[in-house]
Amino acid sequence: MSWQSAVSNTWLGRILRGIVKLGLAGAIAAILGNINMDLSAVTIGSTTVDLSVMWDLVKVFAPLLLIISGLRDLGVEI
């Protein structure tokens, strides 16, 4: 077993990993929130997809997944 896995599997390693993930989630949310993209709709066949909705989903789910993972590392049952 390497020292990295031995450290990251301790309670202190999990807490630090959770804090880092929560910090990254905040930074990613701030960065994605400040990006203004002029997105239009794309029509493929008879289906029209509004790309601004897709961009909003990315802005929500990218930090959300890190928040959930960080909270699990901190011991919160989700």
How many domains, in total, are found in the chain? 1
Residues of the chain where predicted confidence (pLDDT) is lower than 70:
1-8
What is the extent of the structural domain holding 61? 3-73
The pTM of this model reads 0.71
pLDDT tens-digit profile of 60-70? 898 999 999 99
Which helix (H) or strand (E) segment holds residue 60: the answer is helix 51-73
> Distances in Å between the alpha carbon of 45 and those of 37, 49, 57, 59, 72?
24, 11, 23, 27, 42
Q: Is residue 29 part of a domain?
A: yes
Whether 78 is covered by a domain: the verdict is: no
Q: For residue 51, tell me if it sits in a domain.
A: yes
| Domain assignment of residue 68, yes or no | yes
The secondary element (H helix, E strand) that includes residue 27 is helix 11-34
Three-class SS state of 9: coil
Q: Please report whether residue 53 resides in a domain.
A: yes
